[in-house]
């Protein structure tokens, strides 16, 4: 794993990221990693933990950076850089998605791995947090090229993954087919089929019923509970959804089915608005046919940035990090924000939104449905026994609403924001596991 020819680097808690500094006060210096560390620092201060534990929780346990060569269909070769970060193992094997996007970098993956640790702990799933990324634009490559680059990336990170070590799952730019390639590559190298190496894989290869829409269902369960909490009837409420991909599209569909009037949606190409309510099913057909929400005849064109400040009851940012910041948080009109994406709200925006009385349900609670059903899939794979879709969905709803009540009660008892309460609860659980295990040697 130190082979320079593979451009592979390993680091441990003693040589990875430096100890965190104070939380940034303005968003122009904020990044996903500074945001994640600022949230951790706030929780550490609330819990009164000592600096050594703070440093341990702020620093990934293991990082692997690999050079991934790809032979294109044309015969040319290109080189891409990939990462796998394992933030914490105190509560179990590492768990986290694999992202393919041109702007992937190590600090982003570090932040996402940390958030996964808190998410798993908050939902009482026996995992630590991990995340992977490859700095590649999958839209520029054929399926054959994506298969080759996935198998090569998998072979490079083989020494640190496994069903008892680190279990990847889909994220931005990857899907169940990607997971099938990873599973096969790992299985071929192991000499036998290992369905528990990934989650989010096809049903035919041992995937779980309900996994593909699990994050969206979880977002919907939490959104409906949050609306009711602030005194709004979901059947009389309106919503805007930023992002119409894996999370946002199904979240919009489930919200609409629950009676919420979805008036605005966006994707990376543009946004649309219909104050009378969008026909989400027709919009989904349009996106399948054209690849974008742009041009949908049932809505008017809208500037993508303006979606975040629409006059709606519920805002679901389900795209990327940092979209709500100190430059636009003062203009948000939604009563409730439910984070479908990871890290969509910066710390400065968080402070502004709380001062304005806007309820923000944090990502580590709101979008945890995916990791819950990933855990269900892993359990099923290890037992070689698969559950019915209704069993998966009922267990998902129970887990999500139980966590919602726990976080809400913790926040109200201590006059905290939901994000601070959720992070503190999660950090407390990880710290307790670490304390019980002790230091080695």
Which residues have a catalytic role annotated? 131
Distance CA 149, CA 67 (A): 11
Can you say how many angstroms the Cα of residue 99 is from the centroid of all Cα atoms in its chain?
10
CB 260 within 8 Å of CB 278 = no
Taking the alpha carbons at both ends of the chain, their separation in whole angstroms is 24
Distance CA 323, CA 326 (A): 10
Closest to 247 in 3D by CA, of 184, 339, 162: 339
Can you say how many angstroms the Cα of residue 91 is from the centroid of all Cα atoms in its chain?
19
Q: Which residue has the tokens 């904020």?
A: 30
CB atoms within 10 A of CB 38: 21
CB atoms within 10 A of CB 358: 19
CB 8 within 8 Å of CB 68 = no
Cα angle 240-242-243, degrees, rounded to a multiple of 5:
135
Closest to 99 in 3D by CA, of 150, 48, 25: 150
Half-sphere CA count of 186, side-chain side, radius 13 A: 25
Half-sphere CA count of 294, side-chain side, radius 13 A: 8
Query: Which helix H or strand E contains 290, and what residues bound it?
Result: helix 280-290
180: its two tokens: 């099938």
Closest to 104 in 3D by CA, of 68, 77, 152, 76: 68
Closest to 381 in 3D by CA, of 253, 199, 133: 199
Phi then psi dihedrals of residue 212, to 5 deg: -60, -35
């Amino acid at each position: 794993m130190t082979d320079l020819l593979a451009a592979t680097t390993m680091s441990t808690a003693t040589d990875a990221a430096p100890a965190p500094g104070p939380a940034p006060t303005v968003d122009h210096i904020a990044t996903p990693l500074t945001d994640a560390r600022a949230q951790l620092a706030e929780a550490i201060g609330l819990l009164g933990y000592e600096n050594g534990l703070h440093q341990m929780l702020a620093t990934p346990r293991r990082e692997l950076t690999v050079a991934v060569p790809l032979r294109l269909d044309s015969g040319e070769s290109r080189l891409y850089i990939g990462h796998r970060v394992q933030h914490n193992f105190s509560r179990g094997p590492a768990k986290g998605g694999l992202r393919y996007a041109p702007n992937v970098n190590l600090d982003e993956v570090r932040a996402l791995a940390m958030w996964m640790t808190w998410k798993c702990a908050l939902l009482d799933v026996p995992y630590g947090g991990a995340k992977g990324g490859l700095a590649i634009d999958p839209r520029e490559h054929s399926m054959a090229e994506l298969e080759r680059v996935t198998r090569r990336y998998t072979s490079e990170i083989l020494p640190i993954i496994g069903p008892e070590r680190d279990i990847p799952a889909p994220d931005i730019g990857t899907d169940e087919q990607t997971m099938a390639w990873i599973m096969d590559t790992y299985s071929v190298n192991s000499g036998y089929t290992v369905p528990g190496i990934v989650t989010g894989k096809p049903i035919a290869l041992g995937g779980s019923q309900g996994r593909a829409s699990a994050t969206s269902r979880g977002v919907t369960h939490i959104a409906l509970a949050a609306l009711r909490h602030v005194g709004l009837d979901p059947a009389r409420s309106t919503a805007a959804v930023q992002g119409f991909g894996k999370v946002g599209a199904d979240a919009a569909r489930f919200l609409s089915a629950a009676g919420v009037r979805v008036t605005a949606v966006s994707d990376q190409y543009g946004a649309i608005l219909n104050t009378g309510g969008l026909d989400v099913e027709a919009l989904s057909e349009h996106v399948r046919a054209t690849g974008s929400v742009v041009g949908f005849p049932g809505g008017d064109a809208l500037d993508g940035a303006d979606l975040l400040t629409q006059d709606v009851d519920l805002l679901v940012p389900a795209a990327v990090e940092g979209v709500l910041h100190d430059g636009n948080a003062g203009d948000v009109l939604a009563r409730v924000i439910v984070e479908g994406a990871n890290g969509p709200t910066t710390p400065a925006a968080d402070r502004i939104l709380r001062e304005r009385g806007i309820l923000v349900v944090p990502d580590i609670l709101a979008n945890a449905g995916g990791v819950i059903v990933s855990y269900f899939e892993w359990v099923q794979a290890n037992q070689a026994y698969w559950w019915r879709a209704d069993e998966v969905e009922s267990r998902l709803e129970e887990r999500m609403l139980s966590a919602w009540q726990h976080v809400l009660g913790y926040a109200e008892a201590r006059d905290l924001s939901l994000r601070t309460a959720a992070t503190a609860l999660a950090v407390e659980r990880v710290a307790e596991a670490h304390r019980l295990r002790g230091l080695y040697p």
